[in-house]
Structure 1
Amino acid sequence: MTPSVAPDFDEKPPSGETLSHIFHLLQSERRRRVIWYLTHLKSNETVTVRRLAKNVASAEQNMPIPEIPNEDYRPVYTNLVQHHLPALADADAIDFNADRKVVTPGQNLNALSVVAGITIPVIALLRSETVNK
C-alpha cells in the first residue's frame, strides 16, 4: 500500500486567529532568534535569560559576546523579560521562570521552529520576486 499524501480533511483546520497568533509570534526577529537558539539546546537544558540576551545581542550586533558592552546587552535583556519571553511562554514554546530568570524549551518550540524555518525563507523569496518584477 502506498502512503497517502492527501491531507486529512476530517481534522479541523487551524482558525485564522490561531494562524495570526503564530505569525505574530514569528514577526519579531528577536523572538525568532530566541526560538533558533533554544532549538539548539540539549533536551530539557535550561538557559539563563542573561545568557540568552547576550546571545541575541551578539547576533543582532554581529559581535562576539565578550565584546558586547553592558549598555547594549541590558535593553535586550529587559525587552526579552518584559515582552518576548512571556509571549513565547503563553504559546507553550518555552517554559519561562520569571523569578529565577531561566528558560527551557516548551512543547511547541520545535513546531514554531519548523514554521519559522519554512515561512521566513518563503517570504524572502516572495519579496525578492515581487521586487524583481
Structure 2
Amino acid sequence: MDDTLPGGTDAEEVELSAVFHVLRAKRRRLAIAILDRDGEQNLRELAKKIAAIEFDTPVRSVSNDQYRNVYNSLAQMHLPTLAEEDIVKYDSDRQTIAPGEELQLPHTMYRVAHQQLQRCLNEQSPND
C-alpha cells in the first residue's frame, strides 16, 4: 500500500502537521520555552510563570483567578497534548512536567522553516 495520502501528503508531513497543531496554542509554546530554560517544573510553578507572562506581571503578583485559569487549561488540555507528542513528560498524579525526548523539535522546526522561507525569498527576483 502507498504511504501517500490524498493530495500527495506523506506520513512525515502528517506528523509535521500534528506538531504544528500542538504548537498553535500560546500556552503550549510558553510551557516549552520555560521547560527548555528552567528544566523540570511542578504544575503550580509552571502555571504561575505562564500567568505572569500572559498578564505582564511579576510571578508573586499573579492573582488566584489568573493562576487557576492557566493551571486548569494546562492540566486538562495543554500538557496532555504536549505529552502525546513526547515534547514533555507529564505526570498528572505528581503534577510534574519535565522535558520530553522531542523538546527540541519545535526549535528545529522553526529554524528549518525560517531557512526555507529565506531561501524562497532569496530566489525570488526583486521585479517579480
TM-score normalised per structure 1: 0.73
Instruction: Say which of 56, 62, 66 aligns to 2:60.
Output: 66
Q: 2:108, 2:55 → 1: CA distance?
A: 25
Q: 1:74, 1:116 → 2: CA distance?
A: 31
Instruction: Say which of 79, 85, 103 aligns to 1:85.
Output: 79
Task: Indicate the SS of the match to 2:94.
Answer: coil
Shift of residue 106 of structure 1? Answer: 0.5
Paired letter, 1:88:
L
Q: Give RMSD over aligned pairs.
A: 2.1
- 2:89 corresponds in structure 1 to 95
1:33 aligns with 2:30: yes
Q: 2:56, 2:111 → 1: CA distance?
A: 21
Give yes or no for contact 1:35–1:113 (8 Å, CA) kept in 2. no
Moved over 6 A (4+): none
- 1:20 corresponds in structure 2 to 17
Paired letter, 2:99:
P
Give yes or no for contact 1:32–1:116 (8 Å, CA) kept in 2. no
Q: 1:61, 1:81 → 2: CA distance?
A: 19
Q: 2:84, 2:107 → 1: CA distance?
A: 16
Paired letter, 1:39:
D
TM-score normalised per structure 2: 0.75
| Shift in CA distance, 68/116, structure 1 to aligned 2, threshold 3 Å | farther
Paired letter, 1:49:
L
- 1:129 corresponds in structure 2 to none
Residue segments in structure 2 that go unaligned for 5+ positions in a row: 1-9, 118-128
Percent identical residues: 33
Q: Give the count of matched residue pairs.
A: 107
